[in-house]
Amino acid sequence: MPRRETSKLFDLTLKRLLNASSRAIVYFVNGLFGTCYPPDSVVDYPLTEYISSSLKSQMLDILLLINKTDLYHIEAQIDDDGNMAIRVFDYGYAVGLHYKQSEDDIIRIKFPDARVIYWETSRKTPDYVTLRLEFPDGTVHDYKVQSFKYLDHDLEDLEKQKMIILLPFYLLKYRKRIKTSVKKRAELAAEVKQLLDDTVRIVHRSAQAGVITREDAGIIIACMDHMFVELYGSQYKEFKEANEMLQGALVTSIDKAVEKTRLEDQEKYEQEREKYEQRFRSGFQNMLKNGMTPEQIANMFDMPVEDIVKIKSDCESQK
């Protein structure tokens, strides 16, 4: 797959994953930025496109607003980019300018907290991307943004940090190794299938623990399936078994999400029906207290007289 198409696949996948529940996003932010927001925190998605003074469009990857107060900027990169520090600074300045505050002769521009996610890394990938700002008065300030080197973290670490929405990207572990002989590719296919098994188990385990919802699990596995097909499944017959396993996991996750919704809807219906019946019972009891006979009430509401008699009997037994 050409680099540009691969980059687009990753960008769209990340944006899709960030449509997961607020709970899943909050845990992701906590893991990436080392924060400790409670899982019921409010997540908003501010505008990510800004127009510069030169009328050029600036498009951030991800901008999140937590609890209406704290902004987080995330850029995701396939591999090293020597201009990343400039890009993040540019974007951060655009965001800060949008939310600027003025007091007397001072304009306050606050940059959002930022991270750069590197999906793949090399020995040259920095721990921080740094832009050194030198001002005319001789002062120097380093604008530093921490890097998150994705494949330096194993599945267990991602689960521990509750960054479950990033799990589909672990398929990248094999992207550069796949261009090998047919024999080695068959061996690699078994390794990929094991990775998929482990990842699906983590997703389901996280849903059971309440880190993500069952709907989130469906989104995550669907993204894994799409990325797997794009990277491997549609090109290499050796990966057929792994592809079938993932398809099965996807169907299971969707079925579980549908079943959960059905049960919730059924429970809600039963609760509403119980309230509705209770209101009717109270109304019938008041009619009986006011001297109406069960026969009169039954005729008025086209109901079996036995039902009204039972309501009358229940009411008398409660006295």
**Look-up of token digits 């309501």:** 311
Tokens of 86: 């400039």
d(CA 196, CA 109): 44
DSSP character at residue 112: P
pLDDT of 259: 47
d(CA 143, CA 26): 25
Residue 312 falls inside a structural domain: yes
d(CA 201, CA 195): 10
Tokens of 317: 């037994």
d(CA 196, CA 201): 8
d(CA 24, CA 212): 5
Residue 182 falls inside a structural domain: yes
Beta-carbon neighbour count of residue 76 at 10 Å?
21
Residue 35 falls inside a structural domain: no
Contacts of 135 (CB under 8 A, 6+ apart): 141
Residue 200's pLDDT band (cuts 50, 70, 90): confident
Residue 316 falls inside a structural domain: yes
pLDDT of 296: 79
d(CA 253, CA 260): 10
pLDDT digits (tens, 9 = 90+) for 116-172: 999 988 888 989 999 999 999 999 999 999 999 999 999 999 999 999 999 999 988
Residue 78 falls inside a structural domain: no
Structural domain containing residue 298: 161-319
Q: What pTM, to 2 d.p., does this model score?
A: 0.71
Residue range 168-195: mean pLDDT, rounded = 77
Polymer length of the chain: 319
Tokens of 123: 């020995």
Helix (H, G, I), strand (E, B) or coil at 177: coil
* Of 284, 285, 308, 282, the residue nearest 295 (C-alpha): 308
Higher pLDDT, 181 or 105: 105
Residue 27 falls inside a structural domain: no
Residue 145 falls inside a structural domain: no
- Provide the domain count of the chain: 1
**DSSP bridge partners of 189:** none
Residue 223 falls inside a structural domain: yes
Amino acid, res. 82: G
Tokens of 105: 């002769």
Contacts of 58 (CB under 8 A, 6+ apart): 49, 50, 51, 52, 90, 91, 94
Per-residue pLDDT for 263 more than 60? no
Alpha helices (H) along the chain:
3-17, 22-33, 84-98, 155-160, 182-209, 214-228, 240-289, 294-301, 305-317
d(CA 311, CA 293): 12
d(CA 256, CA 268): 18
* Of 204, 190, 201, the residue nearest 242 (C-alpha): 190
pLDDT digits (tens, 9 = 90+) for 10-63: 888 888 898 899 999 999 999 999 999 999 999 998 876 655 555 555 566 789
